[in-house]
Amino acid sequence: MSSSFERPPVKLVIAGGYGCGKTTLIKSVADPDRYVRLTDEPITGASAGVDALTGVPEKTTTTVSIDFGRINLSNGTPLFLFGMPGQSRFWSVWDDHTHGAFGAVVVADTRRLDDCFSSLDFYEDRRIPYVVAVNEFDGTQRYAPEDVANALQLDTAKVPVMNFDARRRADVKDVLARLLEHVIGTAAADAAAGRGRATSGV
């Protein structure tokens, strides 16, 4: 009997600022019965002076480690999704957990857009292809992807930017599909130019 593990898994990283919707993204799209490991814990008084809740007053939990989820492509290839904690005190683990990643989704929250820059710089420095997915929270102003790209100083010809709702499985699948297209396109462009990607383990 064939197994999906006969195909090598594709590792993708989900990054972004604190409270932007990374855990929700993984929970929305991954197999809930076998392949989800979420590390959200209730916010306590100990984090009150450490994790700023400005712009996200409704947030009651926080990721304290690495979230993990899995989704299988139609051809049986498994996608492994690793959610990076957004707080600055966890940045030291980003390198270890990004090792071997083919690409990244940087989730943006327009209420705290500046929180994206550390993730953008991280993946730019390591030449790991990424897309920016703007999570549309209820009650927030909507912006066109081009406007968000301008605010983040991104060239949409090089970095895809799209709007989505992290709670909607179909939206998340569209984001992951766009990332995979971007990864393949970047690899083809690098091959045509005669250079390889200096990524962390790929």
Question: Greatest CA separation found in the chain?
Answer: 54
Q: Does the pLDDT value for residue 63 go beyond 60? A: no
Tokens 């712009």 belong to 55
- Contacts of the segment 27-34: beta carbons below 8 A, 24+ positions apart: 27/69, 28/166, 28/167, 28/168, 28/169, 28/172, 29/69, 29/71, 29/81, 29/169, 29/172, 29/173, 29/176, 30/69, 30/70, 30/71, 30/81, 31/69, 31/70, 31/71, 31/72, 34/70
Q: Which two tokens stand for residue 156?
A: 């949409």
Task: Determine the residue type at 79.
Answer: L
pLDDT (0 to 100) of residue 89 = 52
pLDDT (0 to 100) of residue 138 = 93
- Domains of the chain, first to last: 4-192 (3.40.50.300)
Q: What is the pLDDT of residues 144-202, one digit of tens each?
A: 999 999 999 999 999 999 999 999 999 999 999 999 999 999 999 999 888 665 444 44
Q: Does the pLDDT value for residue 65 go beyond 60? A: no
Give the pLDDT band of residue 35 (cuts 50, 70, 90).
low
Q: Output 141 or 43, whichever has higher pLDDT.
A: 141
Strand, coil or helix: 10:
strand
Q: Output 14 or 58, whichever has higher pLDDT.
A: 14
State how far the Cα of 107 lies from the Cα of 22, in Å rounded to an integer.
7
